[in-house]
Amino acid sequence: MRKPRLMTPGPAPVPEDVLLELARPVIHHRSAEAKSVIIEVVAGLKDVFQTKNDIMILTASGTGAMEAAAVNTVPPGGKALILNAGWFSKRWGDICKAYGINAVMLDTEWGQPVDPDQVANALAQHKDTVAVMGTLSETSTGTGHPVEAIGKIVAGTEAVFAVDGISGVGAMECRADAWQIDLLAVGSQKALMLPPGLAFLSVSDKAWKKIDAFQSASYYFDLKKARKKMAEFDTPFTPAHTLLLGLKASLKRIREEGIENVWARHKRMSEAAQAGVQALGLELFSARPAEGLTAFRVPAGIKDSDIRGELEKRFGITTVGGQDKLKGKIVRVGHMGYMDELDVISGIAALEMVLSDLGMDIEPGRGVTAVQQVLIGSRALAAR
Ligand SMILES: *Cc1c(COP(=O)(O)O)cnc(C)c1O
């Protein structure tokens, strides 16, 4: 068997100390130990989210936190403005439709960042908007959206700002409070270095006011119930406690590195990956790349499944292709969470060999050199 190298934008690799936590005996969820775990992870999550707001812990994949945000803040028939720029932001619209929320789609071309001016215009036109739903890192296109600028605009209205930070939080700068994000949804299996199964949602006072104004249609994702229990560092239902033990360990890693250093590491990895890909003559898909993954266009004459298949077969590297209308058109490589600069170097080196074998005219070392140039330069800058 090949040494597995999971380079997907979720799930992402899990470090050994976290894996060991997962092997411990299951504890009871109403025990004193369980409570102390929740106290500790909530503090750690607040640091990662950069928030003083409440954080709810949900046992679900990341989409569960999105669903909880939508169904609890916007009553049926209420209006939500969806910043639709890819497969995952479209999901906000699908969730709204499932609950009878009036989803107004503000469409942005895939791969382009959402234009804050257009958000301002849409909000001026739809003054009854209850929530704006956007994305920090659109994983389907590898795009980072200008969440800070959008947050400023939404904050000047009655609407709350809900952000899907599932592949972004912990992989790129995101400050929930300073950027005026009312609801920030995150899943465990991306930059938080855990297996899938937990979702987190921060909730601002402005959002609680919307939530308290009506009774949501969801039983399991009732945030009022969650708030009541979280006040006692408990959850309404049995949480995935094994994962919470793992989370304690992964948050400790983040705390020791420092969240700003974690962001800086991802920024370096992402700039290096972009340089490496471009040095090989490949084209980046996104006009404003996210920092936890890199998406590039499949070069003419080669199939995306050949590139990904060879990476997997020869080197044990798992990557993903495009979703929906990008199927076959792009390759997406994750570098989030438990990843470092050498992972990017080896990933680009593998890509050089695979593309060469597939018949592209690749000078070996060219991509790797470009990666190293970025890394050497940014190290020198960081030291100054
Ligand atoms: C992974 C991802 C999701 C989906 O999360 P699940 O955990 O599969 O529910 C949603 N949004 C973004 C931006 C993602 O990257």
Ordered by start, the domain boundaries in the chain are: 5-9+259-383, 16-256
Does 16-256 match 5-9+259-383 at the fold level? no
Candidate of 6, 8, 63 to mutate for ligand 1, largest count of ligand atoms within 8 Å of Cβ: 63
* CB-count burial class (<10 Å; 0-12, 13-18, 19+) for 354: buried
User: In sequence order, what are the beta bridge partners of 132?
Assistant: 81, 161
> End-to-end distance of the chain based on CA atoms, in angstroms?
44
Instruction: Report the candidate in 221, 176, 237, 225 with the shortest Cα–Cα distance to residue 203.
Output: 176
User: pTM to 2 decimals?
Assistant: 0.97
Q: Report d(CA 182, CA 209) in Å as an integer.
A: 11
Superfamily for 5-9+259-383? Answer: Aspartate Aminotransferase, domain 1 (3.90.1150.10)
Does ligand 1 come within 6 angstroms of the Cβ of 323?
Answer: no
Name every residue whose Cβ is closer than 8 Å to that of residue 102 and which is 6 or more positions away in sequence. 77, 78, 79, 80, 96
Please, how many CA atoms are within 13 Å of residue 161, restricted to the half-sphere of its CB? Answer: 28
Confidence of residue 378 (pLDDT cuts 50, 70, 90): confident
Query: Which of the pair, 239 or 381, is modelled with greater confidence?
Result: 239
User: In testing the pocket of ligand 1, which one of 6, 82, 88, 95 has its CB within 8 Å of the most ligand atoms?
Assistant: 88
Looking at the CA of residue 199, tell me the nearest atom of ligand 1: 7
Question: Is the beta carbon of 194 within 6 A of some atom in ligand 1?
Answer: no
Measured from the CB, is residue 273 less than 6 Å from ligand 1?
Answer: no
Burial of 194 (0-12, 13-18, 19+ CB in 10 A): buried
CATH class of the domain comprising 16-256: alpha beta
Structure confidence at residue 383 as a pLDDT band (50, 70, 90): low
Cα gap 65→79, rounded to integer Å: 19
- The rounded Å distance from CA 343 to ligand 1 centre is 23
- Residue with the smallest CA separation from ligand 1 atom 5 is 62
Question: pLDDT per residue over 3-33, tens digit each?
Answer: 999 999 999 999 999 999 999 999 898 899 9
> Average pLDDT in the 162-171 region?
98
- Which mutation among 94, 139, 172, 194 tests ligand 1's pocket best, with the greatest number of atoms within 8 A of CB? 139
CA distance 222 to 121: 32
AA identity, residue 189: Q
Q: In a 3-state reduction of DSSP, which class is residue 201? A: strand
Q: pLDDT by residue (tens digit) across 34-48?
A: 999 999 999 999 999
Rg (CA), the chain: 21
Q: What is the pLDDT of residues 326-377, one digit of tens each?
A: 999 999 999 999 999 999 999 999 999 999 999 999 999 999 999 999 999 8
Instruction: Supply the pLDDT for residue 377.
Output: 82
Q: Residue 279 burial by CB count (10 A; 0-12/13-18/19+): exposed, middle or buried?
A: buried
Ligand 1 lined by 286 (C-beta under 6 Å): no
Ligand 1 neighbourhood includes 140 CB (under 6 angstroms): no
The angle, 0 to 180 degrees and rounded to 10, between the axes of the packed helices 241-257 and 259-279 is 80
**301-340 b/e with 16+ CB inside 10 Å = b?**
eeebeebbebbbeebebbbbbbbeebeeebbbbbbbbbbe
| Rounded Cα distance, 248 and 45, in Å | 10
Please tell me if the CB atom of residue 87 comes closer than 6 angstroms to any atom of ligand 1. Answer: no
Q: What percent of the chain has pLDDT over 90?
A: 96
- From 174, 152, 160, 153, select the one nearest 205 (Cα to Cα): 160
3-state secondary structure of 254: helix
- For residue 229, the model assigns a pLDDT of 97
Question: What is the arithmetic mean of pLDDT over 169-177?
Answer: 98
Query: pLDDT by residue (tens digit) across 221-253?
Result: 999 999 999 999 999 999 999 999 999 999 999
- The neighbouring-strand residues paired with 58 are 199
Residue type for position 78: G
Across the range 267-274, mean pLDDT stands at 98
- Ligand 1 center from residue 88 Cα (angstroms): 7
Classify each residue of 63-88 as buried b or exposed e, where b means 16 or more C-beta atoms within 10 Å of its C-beta: bbbbbbbbbbbbbeebbbbbbbbbbb
Atom of ligand 1 nearest to the CA of 189: 7
Q: Are 151 and 178 in contact (CB under 8 A)?
A: no
| Amino acid letter for position 303 | K
CA 381 to ligand 1 centroid distance, Å = 34
State residue 380's pLDDT score: 67
